[in-house]
């Protein structure tokens, strides 16, 4: 028996007593009984008032039940912000000593590496100097690692201040060492008008087709108020005060008369352009019709604008009252950016007329898709010497039966007579054999870092993620390398699997560029654990993934223009498939996504090498041994560096193309920039070719790289 069952007879008895006492005031002659009843109501009133106050104080947050926001790109972090947050969250007590030491270790490693690089000393000596505190003039920075500021297992105050000082000191030391001022320009500081604005972000955690009814709590406490007033009225013996309690009762009952109506809506959505160019404006017109037979006194709608699209005019959110059969229409304009953006749902919140209850729903709608394919351009890079055995057009360090002269070498028994260099014989009297270049076909796999850790931005107002920059760079590379005659494949390093085997030809180029445009692995929303975990064991894709019903065509098919698509996957390994639409999917045999589901790739506690092995567990098996690899990554964490090293260690010629997506306006952001530069240096030392550039922060621009 619950509380309601206990209260119901109480209410019925009280009502009966009230009616009886109203009709016959002298029904209860006993004074003690009257006093007892009054005292009881008084106690209940006070308790009700207490409950009302408590409910208000511990009530739900303002964000609960809010209409979600839309029309702004996800709030990507700037590298270093995670460290700043961790530092701000850490306390001064001994309980947080472990976390403080983790942060301290990270800064210590950076300080040592920068000092060793700048002074040209080994890291052991640099470590001694950092520990001794004579690496910087800033006392706070030095105190983080030395003297009384060093490791504690008790209370440590001023930690955040020392971290900021140390981060700034490390960055200053690094900048002084390379004699390069920070290249980062804050658009707002430069007086440039920055599109978009910082807005509060509210999300509705419902899938299409789901709805949720909840009480808003706006009338919470009104019953307690009524009882309290009644109690006061009895205490002071004022009938009018008792009467005022009727207010609370009336509105308490009003708040419980109806539930928020379930919306039966017909939704039509029209987009003005389905294949815009980047930066082009697309008007979206949304019509919502009440197809039910009940009045919707308060219906609030928010169109689910796909991640990446920013509303530049109008609003996707609206509030109105809809009678049956009536239609409300809104329109707004978005700025197109790379991607295939599907408008396929609508967030709706309805309220009853008292606004005491609300029904939150996400309605599936007919899909309207906007596909924005950038020009990508063409960009070629100098590759390594690794090549296939096939003749081709790429000059490699191989000699053979080509037509271009390569070099001379001493004549050996068996060399064809026609290869003798008679001019050399005439000059020197020695036999020599002419060698000719033998152009080969080079196979290149372009990999894009699409992990959650790569969804960082240099400008948290423009919000262009590094994944977009890397994707645009990959597109330019794909076009450039194919133009040079290479066989080019494409893959994503991240939890959302994408792999297109190497090939060439016009159709293959289209397939690659279409994949870069529309595959979810390169989308604007970072992967989350749900994306991976939600996949069924048989590999079903997430909702916004490639169409799982798409007809699967095995690789090793000749393309229409005569180009070759080569099957790279080893027998028995996860099978790669390419859908009719050209987007790559992994079929049922591929159970491993190649990465753990955790989006927290910034976690410095995880071993980067192990993480890299996990990341490459899947895609590494697809890479042919003779493939060169171009890895596009912002190098936002050590795991990205480890991926480059792992690929290099497996015998591939590796080129890391790294856009600089770091900020420079806070100490922690500057430190993150330094750490990235140190990663680049480390890769170079390991023999990995590295190209870096500073990309434009405008999401409608191309990769903007110049190698």
Partner 1 sequence: MSVVVREHRLRLSHGLAVAAALATVAAVRVGMLGLVAGFGGVLLLVTGLVWRSRGLVALAGVGLFGATVLVAAGPGSLVATLVGAFGAVLAADFGTFALGIDRDVDPSVATTRVEALHAVGSLTVALLAGGLGYALFRSVPRGSTLGVVALLFAAAVLAAVLRP
- For partner 1, the binding residues in 295-334 under the rule CB under 8 A are 297-298, 300, 315, 317-321
- Taking CB under 8 A as the rule, which mask of x and - marks residues 209-238 in contact with partner 1? ---------x---xx-xxx-xx-xxx-x-x
Could you tell me the CA-to-CA distances from 590 to 312, 503, 586 in Å, in that order?
A: 41, 22, 6
Site for partner 1 in 27-46 (CB under 8 A): 28, 34, 37-38, 41, 44
Q: What CA–CA distance (Å, rounded) separates 220 from 55?
A: 7
CB of 309 to partner 1, least distance (A): 17
431 binds partner 1 (CB under 8 A): no
Nearest to 115 by CA among 126, 105, 125, 128: 126
**From candidates 1, 23, 190, 403, binder to partner 1 by CB under 8 A:** 23
The answer to whether the Cα torsion of 671, 677, 681, 684 is positive or negative is positive
294 binds partner 1 (CB under 8 A): no
Cβ proximity to partner 1: between 12 and 132 the closer is 12
Could you tell me which stretch among 11-19, 278-286, 540-548, 580-588 binds partner 1 (CB under 8 A)? 11-19
668 binds partner 1 (CB under 8 A): no
CB of 256 to partner 1, least distance (A): 4
- Judging by DSSP bridges, how do beta strands 443-449 and 487-493 pair with one another? parallel
240 binds partner 1 (CB under 8 A): yes
Cβ proximity to partner 1: between 164 and 298 the closer is 298
Radius of gyration of the chain (CA): 34
Could you tell me which stretch among 77-85, 272-280, 347-355, 626-634 binds partner 1 (CB under 8 A)? 347-355
Site for partner 1 in 164-203 (CB under 8 A): 197-200
Site for partner 1 in 559-618 (CB under 8 A): none
401 binds partner 1 (CB under 8 A): no
CB of 675 to partner 1, least distance (A): 22
CB of 128 to partner 1, least distance (A): 38
Cβ proximity to partner 1: between 463 and 677 the closer is 463
Cβ proximity to partner 1: between 127 and 245 the closer is 245
Cβ proximity to partner 1: between 157 and 319 the closer is 319
Nearest to 337 by CA among 305, 315, 361: 305
Can you name the residues that pair with 322 across neighbouring β-strands? 296
Q: Where are the alpha helices (DSSP H) in 24-76?
A: 31-57
Which residues touch 628 (CB under 8 Å, ≥6 apart)? Answer: 383, 384, 386, 442, 443, 444, 445, 652, 653, 654, 655
Cβ proximity to partner 1: between 349 and 636 the closer is 349
Sheet holding 281-290, edge to edge: 265-271, 281-290, 327-335, 310-314
Cβ proximity to partner 1: between 21 and 408 the closer is 21
Site for partner 1 in 65-94 (CB under 8 A): 66-67
- Which secondary-structure segment (H or E) carries 16? helix 3-23
Cβ proximity to partner 1: between 253 and 425 the closer is 253
Site for partner 1 in 250-279 (CB under 8 A): 250-254, 256-257
Could you tell me the CA-to-CA distances from 86 to 132, 211, 383, 424, 603 in Å, in that order?
A: 26, 36, 41, 71, 11
**From candidates 79, 133, 149, 245, binder to partner 1 by CB under 8 A:** 245
The answer to whether the Cα torsion of 531, 536, 539, 541 is positive or negative is negative
Give 409: exposed, middle or buried? Use CB within 10 Å, 0-12, 13-18, 19+. middle
289 binds partner 1 (CB under 8 A): no
Contact 210, 361 (CB under 8 A): yes
Could you tell me which stretch among 244-252, 482-490, 575-583, 647-655 binds partner 1 (CB under 8 A)? 244-252
Cβ proximity to partner 1: between 451 and 669 the closer is 669
Could you tell me the CA-to-CA distances from 111 to 98, 139, 198, 607, 618 in Å, in that order?
A: 20, 15, 34, 20, 36
457 binds partner 1 (CB under 8 A): no
Q: DSSP readout, 72-114?
A: S---PBPTTHHHHHHHHH--SSGGGHHHHHHHHHHHHHHHHHH
690 binds partner 1 (CB under 8 A): no
């Amino acid at each position: 028996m619950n509380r309601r069952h206990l209260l119901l007879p109480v209410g019925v008895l009280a009502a009966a007593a009230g009616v009886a006492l109203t009709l016959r005031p002298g029904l209860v002659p006993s004074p003690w009984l009257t006093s007892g009843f009054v005292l009881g109501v008084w106690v209940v009133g006070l308790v009700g008032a207490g409950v009302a106050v408590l409910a208000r104080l511990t009530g739900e947050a303002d964000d609960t039940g809010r209409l979600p926001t839309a029309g702004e790109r996800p709030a990507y972090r700037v590298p270093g912000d995670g460290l700043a947050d961790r530092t701000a969250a850490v306390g001064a007590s001994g309980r947080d000593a472990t976390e403080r030491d983790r942060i301290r270790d990270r800064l210590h490693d950076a300080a040592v590496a920068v000092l060793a690089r700048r002074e040209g000393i080994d890291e052991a000596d640099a470590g001694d100097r950092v520990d001794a505190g004579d690496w910087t003039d800033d006392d706070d920075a030095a105190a983080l690692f030395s003297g009384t500021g060093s490791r504690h297992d008790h209370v440590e105050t001023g930690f955040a201040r020392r971290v900021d000082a140390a981060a700034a000191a490390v960055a200053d030391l690094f900048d002084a060492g390379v004699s390069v001022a920070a290249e980062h320009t804050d658009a707002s500081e430069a007086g440039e008008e920055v599109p978009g604005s910082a807005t509060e972000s509210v999300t509705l955690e419902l899938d299409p087709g789901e709805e949720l009814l909840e009480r808003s709590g706006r009338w919470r406490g009104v019953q307690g108020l009524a009882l309290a007033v009644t109690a006061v009225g009895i205490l002071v013996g004022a009938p009018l005060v008792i009467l005022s309690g009727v207010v609370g009762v009336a509105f308490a009952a009003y708040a419980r008369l109806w539930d928020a109506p379930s919306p039966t809506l017909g939704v039509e959505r029209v987009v003005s352009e389905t294949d815009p160019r980047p930066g082009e404006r697309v008007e979206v017109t949304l019509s919502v019709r009440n197809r039910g037979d009940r009045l919707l006194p308060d219906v609030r709608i928010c169109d689910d604008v796909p991640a990446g699209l920013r509303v530049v005019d109008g609003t996707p959110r609206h509030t109105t009252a809809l009678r049956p059969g009536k239609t409300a229409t809104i329109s707004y304009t978005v700025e197109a950016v790379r991607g295939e953006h599907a408008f396929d749902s609508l967030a709706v919140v309805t309220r009853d007329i008292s606004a005491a209850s609300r029904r939150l729903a996400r309605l599936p709608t007919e899909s309207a898709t906007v596909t924005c394919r950038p020009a990508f351009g063409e960009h070629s890079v100098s590759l390594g010497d690794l090549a296939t055995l096939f003749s081709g057009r790429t000059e490699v360090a191989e000699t053979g039966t080509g037509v271009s002269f390569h070099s001379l070498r001493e004549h050996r028994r068996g060399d064809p007579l026609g290869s003798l260099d008679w001019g050399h014989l005439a000059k020197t009297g020695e036999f020599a054999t002419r060698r000719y270049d033998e152009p080969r076909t080079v196979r290149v796999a372009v990999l894009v870092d699409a992990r959650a850790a790569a969804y960082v931005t240099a400008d948290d107002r423009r919000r262009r993620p590094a994944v977009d920059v890397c994707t645009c760079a990959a597109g330019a590379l794909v076009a450039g390398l194919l133009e040079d005659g290479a066989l080019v494949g494409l893959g994503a390093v991240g939890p959302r699997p994408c792999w297109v085997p190497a090939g060439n030809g016009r159709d293959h180029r289209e397939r690659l560029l279409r994949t870069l445009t529309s595959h979810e692995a390169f989308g604007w929303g970072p992967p989350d654990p749900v994306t991976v975990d939600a996949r069924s064991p048989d590999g079903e894709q997430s909702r916004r993934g490639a169409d799982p019903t798409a007809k699967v065509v095995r690789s090793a098919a000749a393309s229409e223009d005569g180009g070759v698509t080569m099957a790279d996957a080893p027998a028995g390994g996860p099978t790669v498939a390419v859908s009719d639409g050209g987007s790559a999917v992994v079929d049922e045999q591929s159970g491993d996504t190649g990465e753990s589901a955790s989006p927290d790739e910034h976690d410095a506690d995880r071993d980067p090498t192990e993480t890299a092995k996990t990341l490459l567990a899947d895609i590494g098996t697809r890479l042919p041994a003779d493939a060169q690899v171009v890895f596009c990554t912002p190098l936002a964490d050590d795991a990205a560096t480890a991926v480059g090293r792992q690929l290099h260690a497996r015998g591939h010629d590796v080129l890391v193309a790294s856009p600089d997506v770091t900020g420079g306006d806070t100490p922690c952001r500057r430190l993150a920039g330094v750490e990235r530069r140190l990663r680049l240096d480390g890769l170079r030392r390991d023999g990995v070719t590295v190209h870096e550039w500073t990309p434009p922060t405008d999401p409608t621009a191309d990769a903007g790289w110049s190698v």
